[in-house]
Amino acid sequence: MEIKKFGVIGSGQMGNGIAQVAAASGLEVLMSDIKEEFTAKGIENITKNLARSVSKGKLEQLQMDTTLSRIKTTVDLKDMADVDFVVEAAVEREDLKFKIFEDLDAICPAHAILSTNTSSIPIGRIAARTGRPDKIIGMHFMNPVPVMKLVEVIKGLATSEETFEITWELSKKFGKTPAEANDFPGFIANRILMPMINEAVFCLYQSVGKPEDIDTVMKLGMNHPMGPLALADLIGLDTCLAIMETLYDGFKDSKYRPCPLLRKYVETGWLGRKSGKGFYDYSR
C-alpha cells in the first residue's frame, strides 16, 4: 500500500514533531487537535525548528518552505476521512486514546492503518476498541522527534504482518531506525527508562542527593547525555507518572510503584519544562 496522506492526532510536542518529519519525507500531512490555538502553536514550533536548521546551514530555505506547505491543520477529526496512515499522539490517557481510536475507526477509510505513539498502553487493548485490529500498531517516537533516531514499532496480537512491514518501512522513510518490540506494558524503551527515572526520584525523595548531584552522577558516571531528573522534566512528570502507573497496573510488581514524590509534584502542577517547574525551575 502506498501512503500519500498522513494524519497526526495531536499537535503538541510529539505530534508537531511527527508532522514535521512526515512532511519532510514528502508526505501530505494533516495535523489535528481540539482547538485552533493548539494547531497554530504546533505550526509555530515546526516553523521555529525548521528555521533553526536553516540558520545553521543544515537546511535550505526552499526545503523549509516546501515542508511547511505540505502540512495542513484541522480541528475536525472527520477530516481524516481520506488519510492512508494515522499516528495518534494525544496525552497518555487510556480513556482518551480509546475514544480517539473508536472515532478514527468509523471515520478513516478501510485500508487506513491506525497507529499510536503511546508510551506504555498495550496495543491490543487499543485495537480491541476498533473493527480493524489487524491494522492497529504502535509507532513510538522519541522526544524530540526531529532529532531522535529511534522508533519503537509494536505489534499487537492481531496486527498483520503487512501492517508491521508498512510501518517499519515508513519509519525508515522518515529517516529513523526502527526497533521491534512485543506488546507488553512499557514496551522496551519505557520498561527500562521509567524505572530508572523513578529510582532517581526515590533518591531525591529519600535525600540521597540533590537533583543536580543525582543527574551529575548519571551523566558523568554512566555517560548519559542527560540526567534522569532533567529528562523527566523534558518528558513531562505527568507522562512519567502515567507510564509508571501503567507498568504497575500491568505487572502488579512493587518494583514499578511510582515514587510518592513524583505523584506529589504532578498533583501540585509541577510537570517539568511545560509548566515552568519540575525538578528544576524553568521560569527564569
**Residues contacting 111, CB < 8 A, separation 6+:** 1, 84
Are 18 and 8 contacting, i.e. CB atoms less than 8 angstroms apart?
yes
Q: Is 215 labelled a binding residue?
A: no
284 pLDDT exceeds 90? no
At 223, phi and psi to the nearest 5?
Answer: 60, 30
* DSSP bridge pairs for 155: 137, 182
**Whole-angstrom distance, CA of residue 100 vs CA of residue 88:** 8
**E-strand spans in 57-176?**
71-74, 85-88, 113-116, 136-141, 150-155
Structure-block grid coordinates of residue 136: 492497529
Digit-coded pLDDT (tens) for 199-234: 999 999 999 999 999 999 999 999 999 999 999 999
Task: Output the pLDDT for position 166.
Answer: 98
Task: Output the pLDDT for position 120.
Answer: 87
Distances from the Cα of 44 to the Cα of 24, 75, 178, angstroms: 16, 16, 28
239 pLDDT exceeds 80? yes
Active-site residue flag, 111:
no
Pinpoint the alpha helices (H) of 91-223: 94-107, 123-127, 161-173, 189-205, 211-216
Q: Is 156 labelled a binding residue?
A: no
Average pLDDT, the chain: 96
% of the chain surpassing 90 pLDDT: 96
At 32, phi and psi to the nearest 5?
Answer: -115, 150
Active-site residue flag, 190:
yes
Digit-coded pLDDT (tens) for 25-53: 999 999 999 999 999 999 999 999 999 99
Are 121 and 147 contacting, i.e. CB atoms less than 8 angstroms apart?
no
Choosing from 190, 198, 245, 275, the catalytic residue is: 190
Task: Output the pLDDT for position 119.
Answer: 86
Least confident of 80-84, 118-122, 134-138, 271-275: 118-122
| Domains, in order of start, for the chain | 5-182 (3.40.50.720), 189-275 (1.10.1040.10)
Confidence of residue 21 (pLDDT cuts 50, 70, 90): very high
Task: Output the pLDDT for position 230.
Answer: 98
Q: Is 33 labelled a binding residue?
A: yes
Burial 218-243 (b: 16+ CB within 10 A, else e): beeeeeeeebbbbbbbebbbbbbbbb
